[in-house]
A and B are shown apart, each in its own frame.
Chain A
């Protein structure tokens, strides 16, 4: 025995079990799909159709000037929906700005989920009521929050988990590293879901990381990494649900990389033709998450006109409701500028509030 073998200096974990599979894990279209029951696949199908319609409706609302901007998750509906469905009500979701669909799938009212992007208020829902953190725009900054919340829950003896979402680009930020390290050191009940959709605005993954995969990064922190086909709703749900259960049960954090593709531009304000080929987009359309489910349901003889119509009708109802409510002018009160800056406003804030009130009064009278 040399000093190199003393416990404090010896690598504590065997990396092998932490390593992700060489290929993204898939279920749909494989023999393993046999264990999935029809009802579950039908549920997923309905959710994804609804999610796709939500993305289309939100994009349309940008054209009608009803949303300031919309980062669409078209093509990513499987991972968005699976993330929400993998959680129990008492668990927490930490979404990024692209994940309003996940937030909606978790049960938040779509109008409330969209206030950030409409621009009437930053966070339109009550995070505590839904156990959904505010949509995070500064990339990866929400990940340490998820770790802290999960840690606090464990300290409090509550068996819950947090699921934090981030994009492939966000994994380059220091906060990503720090969050994963804390999570592993503290064995916090948290799951990190990276949606690798190929791009960070215009920057392809190859310029973002030289790692064998994003999932491999987990090994360096001492947590398992899982690589999954992000367009296979059944597979990504299974992997996330297992990771969340493991976290809840005290098994520690997991990093999940869901391989997917951003079918639309970064946002409605972006011109994706400047940096990628249509051919690539078309290739990914052939691996569409809804099409994958449809194929599976067809194989089982379960995809009839009725199922299609029912899913489409439900989606249409949601879209019509969203459209109608988003076409109404939001209630705006300029005095809200001063609400909730601090529990107790400073003397200067009181003065500024009085100034604005006087201005608004003068405006009303003129």
Chain B
């Protein structure tokens, strides 16, 4: 991994006060801009407005509009320009306003960002961070709720990260910006307003990219998840106690690279795994995860690895989205089916 692990985290606050994920991301950007003059933030409405989710709030004021720039409205242009800026030694952090509005930049991403290091034999690594608010559950109208991680995971040459907690949002974004490789940084929209008392301790070192974390140990089965689905899985694990099930929960944090060790160790401990994500199941992230679990843990498995995912449909209108998103019941039903396999 190419990530620096030395950059300091936020200074200890006098009293820990609740901070939202959006504010933690804002702090990460501010600290990164302050720490390294090569860091430049660019995107639509990131300057004066501070971004539609306020993640870039105050940055243009503090660092000037050359460090935090409102660009013309063109995602291919934003990412293409970031490639050139990175070639010249800058460290661009671009914002795509919403998941589905990153698609115009797809060609730049796949044809250039992801392969520049490879095609130039390492001469032109691209330290670009591409922040994308993603996922549903916020009542957004058409094109505001996509989960596009599988496209990015399937593109060799990219890191794909997605935080699920306030602390991780900070640390992982710092790590993404410090990385010399391009990082697609997927921010779960519906967790933007989630809060944590933070920071609570001494400055944390920026975590290395690519480590999953066990959020909850368990003995009956392991839920493997990431991003917006983590809180749902934790809730399911709580509810499962009523059934007498002790569910473990693994938060992947990084989809690429994929931390097989942590996942395999957790699944070996239970012999049962359910992969949970809200993007469509068919050829989704869960397919890769389930395949790897099967390959690594086959002799420990008591049941096939199951997936609980969004349906294979275009993201539905907000009034119907609750039927699409994997919820506690659907997760517990899957866990129930694992027990059947045992009997």
Contacts and interface: CB of A to CB of B under 8 A. Distances in A.
**Sorted from nearest, which 4 A-B pairs have the closest CB atoms?**
A202-B49, A119-B318, A172-B72, A169-B73
B123 interface: no
A274 interface: yes
B77 interface: yes
A173 interface: yes
Interface in B100-149: 100-101, 103-104, 139-144
A111 B143 CA distance: 21
5 contacts: A116-B141, A116-B317, A138-B143, A200-B44, A352-B311
Interface string B49-86: 11010000000000000000011111111000000000
B48 A122 contact: no
B312 A120 contact: no
A142 B140 CA distance: 20
Contacts of A115: 317
Given A116-B142, A138-B103, A275-B48, A174 B313 contact: no
A209 B74 CA distance: 12
Contact of B311 (A175, A203, A337): A337
A346 B141 contact: no
Interface of B: 44-45, 47-50, 52, 70-77, 100-101, 103-104, 139-144, 281-282, 311-314, 316-320, 323-324, 329-330
Given A68-B139, A332-B320, A337-B313, A174 B49 contact: no
Contacts of B323: 334, 337, 356, 359
A106 B47 CA distance: 38
A118 B103 CA distance: 25
B314 A120 contact: no
Nearest to A201: B45
B73 A208 contact: yes
A172 B72 CA distance: 6
A177 to B, nearest CB: 9
Nearest to A362: B329
A176 to B, nearest CB: 9
A202 B48 contact: yes
Contact of B313 (A69, A117, A120, A341): A341
Given A68-B318, A118-B319, A338-B311, A174 B76 contact: yes
A137 B71 CA distance: 19
A201 B70 CA distance: 11
Interface residues of A, number: 41
Contacts of B329: 359
A203 B51 CA distance: 11
Contacts of B104: 138, 173-175
Contacts of B73: 139, 169-170, 172-173, 200, 203, 208
Contact of A334 (B76, B100, B320): B320
Given A69-B141, A202-B48, 15 more contacts: A116-B141, A117-B141, A137-B141, A138-B103, A172-B73, A200-B73, A201-B44, A207-B72, A208-B73, A209-B72, A337-B324, A338-B311, A341-B313, A356-B311, A359-B330
A330 interface: yes
Contacts of B47: 202-203
Nearest to B314: A341
B143 A203 contact: no
B141 A120 contact: no
Interface in A116-173: 116-122, 137-139, 169-170, 172-173
Given A117-B141, A207-B70, A348-B312, A202 B45 contact: yes
B319 A203 contact: no
A274 B48 contact: yes
A287 B319 CA distance: 39
Interface string A316-332: 00000000000000101
A220 to B, nearest CB: 16
B319 A332 contact: yes
A287 to B, nearest CB: 24
Contacts of B316: 337
A170 to B, nearest CB: 7
A346 B142 CA distance: 23
B276 to A, nearest CB: 15
Interface string A86-128: 0000000000000000000000000000011111111000000
B45 to A, nearest CB: 5
A352 B316 CA distance: 14
Nearest to A334: B323
Contacts of A337: 311, 313, 316, 320, 323-324
A274 B103 CA distance: 28
A14 to B, nearest CB: 30
Contact of B44 (A137, A174, A175, A203): A203
